[in-house]
């Protein structure tokens, strides 16, 4: 795993420092043997997973989706008289996986601009597919519910990724590209809807406080694409994500992990705001809808964005730890804190506090 590579690499460097008193030749031999040994373990681990068929890699990780929802945490809680048999009262409409449960698996999600006509979206998708077919890449392909493209491939074991979800690092007029990969087992979940699933578009009703379909009769399906001779489930030994990027003309550097410079850290802490202004800002969040993940919206945000903003306020004069704790307490009491966001509240707060 990429995160484990980073961890073990640091450990190796610490061990190397303990040999500083050795001769240069002995030290070089030690370094070479340690790195070769580690690369061997990494290669074996990588092969163990990537040589398996897709179905074997995900079969024990499948999550049922209900009522045309893409995420189970979007499901509206049942009324009291329905709680005894919650599953039976819901319709299974698909399956999903949490990418963090699938070692070395990566998915390139190409979200084609929904403002384009259906004919234009089909043209964009077919242009991308043509590049893949001509290159004979060994990948698994899925047409998403809204006509986009999921490309299942393998992570490059020697390329570090920043996190499980890398969103909109590549943006054009025709499409945005997101990357989902198993980088960190402990990171908040990122569900990937699997082929043959059916979904609807939902919106949050501020009056009923529930999710409801935008158009109840409109259903979108995730469909398998590609060579019918090798079924989606049977695909194995997939190409690396770096090879997919090369074929599609994407820059792999955009999704690699890069250490943030000290200058960038200092710049991010330069906050031109007074404590009084910060108080007003925190107290005005009551009408905000807070998700784990959310599309761009004036009235929606995510725990990550909100908590990152709160942590930056530590740089404001007169803002102390007590003020920060009170700010988090006020946020936790916001009514429109979505169920999944509420359950991840403390974990996300701790994780982001460690980064700040």
Question: Does residue 23 carry a pLDDT above 60?
Answer: yes
How does residue 238 score in pLDDT terms, banded at 50, 70 and 90? very high
Question: Does residue 92 carry a pLDDT above 70?
Answer: yes
Question: Which range has the worst mean pLDDT, 78-82, 146-150, 310-314, 340-344?
Answer: 78-82
What pLDDT was estimated at residue 265? 43
- pLDDT tens profile 26-84: 666 766 776 666 667 777 777 888 899 999 999 888 889 999 988 765 444 444 444 44
**For 192-216, what is the mean pLDDT?**
86
What pLDDT was estimated at residue 187? 60
What share of the chain in percent tops pLDDT 90?
29
**For 171-198, what is the mean pLDDT?**
85
Question: Does residue 4 carry a pLDDT above 90?
Answer: no
| Cβ-proximal residues to 229 (8 Å cutoff; 6+ apart), any chain | none
Exposed (0-12), middle (13-18) or buried (19+): which is 132, by Cβ within 10 Å?
Answer: buried
What pLDDT was estimated at residue 154? 93
Q: Which of 149-153, 180-184, 336-340 holds the top average pLDDT?
A: 149-153
Question: Does residue 244 carry a pLDDT above 90?
Answer: yes
What pLDDT was estimated at residue 190? 78
**For 316-336, what is the mean pLDDT?**
78
| Mean model confidence pLDDT for the chain | 76
Strands 105-112 and 223-225: unpaired
**For 191-215, what is the mean pLDDT?**
86
Q: Strand locations in 255-344, DSSP E?
A: 289-291, 300-302
Dihedral sign from CA coordinates of 61, 96, 203, 176: positive
What pLDDT was estimated at residue 297? 45
| Cβ-proximal residues to 324 (8 Å cutoff; 6+ apart), any chain | 310, 311, 313, 314
How far apart CA 260 and CA 355 sit, in angstroms, is: 11
Question: Does residue 145 carry a pLDDT above 70?
Answer: yes
What pLDDT was estimated at residue 298? 45
| Cβ-proximal residues to 201 (8 Å cutoff; 6+ apart), any chain | 213, 214, 215, 218, 220
């Amino acid at each position: 795993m990429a995160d484990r590579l980073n961890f073990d690499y640091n450990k190796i460097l610490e061990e190397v420092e303990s040999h500083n008193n050795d001769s240069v030749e002995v030290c070089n031999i030690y370094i070479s043997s340690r790195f070769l040994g580690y690369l061997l373990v990494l290669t074996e681990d990588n092969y163990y997973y990537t040589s398996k068929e897709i179905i074997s890699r995900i079969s024990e990780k499948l999550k049922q989706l209900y009522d045309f929802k893409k995420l189970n945490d979007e499901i509206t809680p049942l009324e009291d008289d329905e709680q005894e048999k919650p599953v039976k009262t819901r319709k299974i409409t698909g399956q999903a996986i949490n990418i963090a449960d699938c070692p070395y698996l990566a998915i390139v999600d190409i979200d084609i601009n929904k403002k384009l006509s259906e004919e234009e979206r089909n043209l964009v998708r077919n242009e991308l597919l043509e590049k893949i077919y001509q290159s004979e890449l060994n990948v698994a392909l899925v047409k998403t519910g809204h006509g986009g493209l999921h490309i299942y491939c393998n992570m490059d074991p020697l390329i570090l990724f920043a996190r499980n979800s890398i969103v909109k690092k590549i943006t054009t007029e025709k499409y945005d590209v997101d990357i989902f990969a198993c980088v960190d087992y402990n990171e908040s979940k990122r569900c990937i809807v699997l082929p043959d699933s059916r979904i609807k578009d939902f919106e949050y009703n501020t009056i009923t406080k529930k999710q409801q379909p935008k158009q109840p009769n409109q259903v979108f399906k995730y469909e398998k694409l590609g060579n019918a001779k090798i079924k989606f489930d049977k695909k194995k030994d997939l190409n690396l994500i770096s090879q997919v990027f090369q074929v599609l003309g994407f820059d792999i550097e955009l999704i690699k992990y890069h250490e943030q410079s000290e200058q960038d850290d200092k710049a991010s802490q330069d906050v031109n705001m007074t404590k009084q202004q910060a108080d007003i800002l925190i107290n005005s969040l009551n009408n905000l809808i807070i998700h784990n993940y959310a599309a761009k919206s004036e009235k929606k945000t995510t725990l990550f964005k909100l908590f990152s903003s709160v942590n930056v306020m530590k740089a404001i004069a007169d803002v102390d730890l007590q003020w920060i704790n009170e700010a988090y307490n006020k946020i936790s009491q916001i009514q429109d804190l979505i169920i999944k966001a509420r359950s991840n509240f403390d974990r996300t707060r701790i994780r982001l506090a460690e980064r700040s």
